[in-house]
Amino acid sequence: MTRRWVRTAAACGVVAVLCAAVLVASARAEGEQGYVRSGAWEFGLNAAVLAREGSASTTLSLFSNRFWVSGRTPLSAGASATYSRVSDLDRVDLEALLAAYKQFPGSSAHVYAGVAGGLSQEWVGSFSQVRCPLGLDVGIKAFVSRRAVLTVAYKFRRLLNDPVADFNEHRFVAGFSIMFNNGKDDSQ
């Protein structure tokens, strides 16, 4: 087994342990169906398996989303920061996301789709390259309590501004987040 796959399995294991802990804690929480309210903030951590140009790696991201409701459709604007290191290559991604949500009837799960863009900087030693990732996100956010949310998503990016050629990137994401200003007592 290669080191890359060991790191991938370790990252997925960490997310699975976080998810299991949230599920156990949410079993004791109130049995209220989760949904997104205007003014809610989401803060979380994502682990991803990244496939690009025939190679795979793992990443961890910190992200935040601000929600508002337009008619019956929840919308969000968010930002994320990702750092990864593969061998001698360091990479930092800063992205913004605009997304729309639709709740599955009778459940606390929301499917979402959005557009994303940002900057990606890679460097090895003194050599540095900045690329511009643009793409789409699709996923499901499932409330396990009023404030705890699990996310599973697919992210497609087209990386522009590469010195050789533009290329595609695929991310399979699992994450955990906490919602603020989304409960009975603290929302309007």
Q: Is the pLDDT assigned to residue 172 strictly greater than 80?
A: yes
For 64-94, how does the pLDDT look when each residue is reduced to its tens digit (9 = 90+)? 999 998 888 899 999 999 988 777 788 899 9
C-alpha–C-alpha distance, residues 61 and 123, integer Å: 18
Structure confidence at residue 18 (pLDDT): 56
Spatial CA neighbour of 59 closest among 95, 19, 78, 86:
86
Topology (CATH level 3) of domain 3-180: Porin (2.40.160)
For 133-148, how does the pLDDT look when each residue is reduced to its tens digit (9 = 90+)? 999 999 999 888 888 8
Q: Report the chain's mean pLDDT, rounded to a whole number.
A: 81
- Whether the CA torsion 69, 75, 79, 82 is positive or negative: it is positive
Structure confidence at residue 107 (pLDDT): 79
Structure confidence at residue 82 (pLDDT): 92
Q: Where are the domains of the chain?
A: 3-180
Structure confidence at residue 30 (pLDDT): 42
The runs of H, that is alpha helices, within the chain are 3-27
Q: Is the pLDDT assigned to residue 28 strictly greater than 50?
A: no
The secondary structure of 14-30, three-state, reads HHHHHHHHHHHHHHCCC
Of the given ranges (117-121, 149-153, 184-188), which has the lowest mean pLDDT? 184-188
Q: Is the pLDDT assigned to residue 151 strictly greater than 80?
A: yes
Structure confidence at residue 33 (pLDDT): 56
pTM: 0.78
Percentage of the chain exceeding pLDDT 90: 40
